[in-house]
Amino acid sequence: MSRAQNFLLGLAATVALLPYVHSATISSTPAQTFLGIGGSGAWWPNDLFQFPESVRQNLSSLLFSQSGLGLSSYRYNVGSGGVGVSNPTRAPETFYVAPGQYDFTKDAAGVYFLTQASNFGVPDLTMFANSAPAPLTVDGTSCNSQFQDGTGDAYGTFLADVTQQFRDQGILINLISAMNEPDNSFGPTPCGQEGMLVEPTQRAEVVTGLWNALDARGLTNDVGILADESSQLSFATSEYPSWLPEVIDKVHALVHHTYDFPSDSSYSSYASNVKSQFSGKQTWMSEICCTMGEADGSGKGYSQGYDPTITNALLFSGLVFQSLVLAGEPHYDFWTLVSKEIGCDPSQDIGCAADPNNNGWNDGVIYYDPNFATNGNHELYVKKQFWTYKHFANFLKPGTQRLPISGSDSTTNSMLAASNSSPIVVIAMNTGSTDSTLSLTFPEDVCATSGFRTSASEDFTNIPAATGGGSDWSLNLAGLSLNSYLFDRSACR
């Protein structure tokens, strides 16, 4: 299929990723080619659409421009109508009226931010659904219900028609996920969000219905089907056999969440299982959030709590490294990007957004006041994780290739190679509290040009370039920091 990756042609960079090591070597043989780094538009668009236009513009720029995160992937949540959902923010409107009949004036909030992503040139636009439109489900609701056998064609027709409508306006949705966390109906009613149970044995019908509808519109080369967004890697592994073999040729990539916070060995065995059973099929990381714990990842696990500091930012960076380096996945999405689960009242206590608390949730990288509608506080609160995620999203553009790194730490790997004129970036973190030095050997002569660091006191701040010469360089890794060091692919003059 033709993917919207050409916007960066000619700018492809060479990237290396690695955790904390003292000495390592970059390979000249590339591993995977990166496809996207992003997150989801659920459910904050419903709130942020009510903010002043200047703030909506600022938020769009913080998410989608290179001076902000520079995301290359955005997941638009196509609503089911919110029937049965008690939390109005989490009840997106649906375009569905009746078979073949739509109201495209609905969901103005979601469409606004999808349009922003498109206008900023975000190349991967996924449309994902937590539930089919309520009238199509077993109970006629948007949650606590189940996929109705026999509705695959009707549901696929809805998704394909909506996609066609956006594409006709130049909003080039190129990926569709029809069942986000099909293992959960999010009941009982009243529910906290939309959700539709799709039994493993029903999932092939969902994929086939969507494929047929895309095929009828000539869209199968331009729009890929993602499935099945299992909430846990362990579900994905055990459930693939009951639906995937039947539709493997219709699925563009296998996407999963990691709410079981898999160990390195579980994640590796998932990746190698897929490789042996479904050879040639990529796996993508499409959703994660919500853990407290230490910078090195100890103590991680799904839990409540808000930590806006470098500790949690490095913990989440470690999860990105795990997916991109350990599992070799080419596409990574964090969950909601923007959240009101700040766990404190920033209108009363101005500094509270910068302090950890146990009442919020780590589901965003930018936060807003949950009481904005009554107190008029339209401030955006940027968490440290925003700045660490920027390293990945700014530098791992679609088309860049990872170059594996080997060294004293076995989990060090990665890199991307493109044209000779392209830079190499090394993204490296230090989860210890003391400074260290990484001695890095490149496969050719390079020249260090610049560096960027995020730490407790720095937000993607310019730092001195690496020191050295030829193919041997030293990178300073300050305690509790994430660093990006840039190199030109030729000797210094």
Ligand X SMILES: *[C@@H]1O[C@H](CO)[C@@H](O)[C@H](O)[C@H]1NC(C)=O
Q: Which residues bind ligand X (CB under 6 A)?
A: 58, 379-380, 382
Who's near 151: CB < 8 A, 6+ residues apart?
Answer: 132, 136, 209
What's the rounded Cα separation, in Å, for the pair 267 and 270? Answer: 5
Based on CB atoms, which residue is closest to ligand X, 138 or 354? 354
Based on CB atoms, which residue is closest to ligand X, 52 or 245? 52
Task: Report yes or no: 93 and 107 within 8 Å, Cβ to Cβ.
Answer: yes
Based on CB atoms, which residue is closest to ligand X, 61 or 282? 61
Which residues are bridge partners to 361 per DSSP?
Answer: 305
CB count in 10 Å sphere of residue 199: 14
CB of 68 to ligand X, least distance (A): 9
Based on CB atoms, which residue is closest to ligand X, 139 or 459? 459
Secondary structure (H, E, C), 50-106: CCCHHHHHHHHHHHHCCCCCCCCEEEEECCCCCCCECCHHHCCCCCEEECCEECCCC
Based on CB atoms, which residue is closest to ligand X, 379 or 444? 379
Based on CB atoms, which residue is closest to ligand X, 172 or 382? 382
CB of 371 to ligand X, least distance (A): 17
* Token output for 345: 């009242």
What's the rounded Cα separation, in Å, for the pair 444 and 488? Answer: 11
CB of 461 to ligand X, least distance (A): 15
Based on CB atoms, which residue is closest to ligand X, 248 or 380? 380
CB count in 10 Å sphere of residue 491: 12
CB of 297 to ligand X, least distance (A): 28
CB count in 10 Å sphere of residue 443: 17
> Residue 287: which of 314, 251, 239, 323 has the closest Cα?
323
Who's near 297: CB < 8 A, 6+ residues apart?
Answer: 315, 318, 319, 431
Kindly state the DSSP code that residue 6 receives in the 8-state scheme.
G
Task: Report yes or no: 347 and 379 within 8 Å, Cβ to Cβ.
Answer: no
What's the rounded Cα separation, in Å, for the pair 373 and 408? Answer: 53
CB of 59 to ligand X, least distance (A): 7
CB count in 10 Å sphere of residue 33: 16
CB of 254 to ligand X, least distance (A): 36
CB of 52 to ligand X, least distance (A): 10
CB of 338 to ligand X, least distance (A): 11
Based on CB atoms, which residue is closest to ligand X, 35 or 366? 366
Based on CB atoms, which residue is closest to ligand X, 55 or 248? 55
CB of 281 to ligand X, least distance (A): 40
Which residues are bridge partners to 479 per DSSP?
Answer: none
Based on CB atoms, which residue is closest to ligand X, 53 or 168? 53
What's the rounded Cα separation, in Å, for the pair 477 and 493? Answer: 26
* DSSP states along 272-300: HHHHHHSTT--EEEEE---B---TTSTT-
Kindly state the DSSP code that residue 352 receives in the 8-state scheme.
G
CB count in 10 Å sphere of residue 258: 24
Based on CB atoms, which residue is closest to ligand X, 292 or 344? 344
What's the rounded Cα separation, in Å, for the pair 81 and 107? Answer: 9
CB of 50 to ligand X, least distance (A): 17
CB of 54 to ligand X, least distance (A): 6
Which residues are bridge partners to 74 per DSSP?
Answer: 39, 125
Based on CB atoms, which residue is closest to ligand X, 316 or 381? 381
Q: What angle do CA 54, 56, 57 make, to 5 degrees?
A: 65
CB of 402 to ligand X, least distance (A): 31
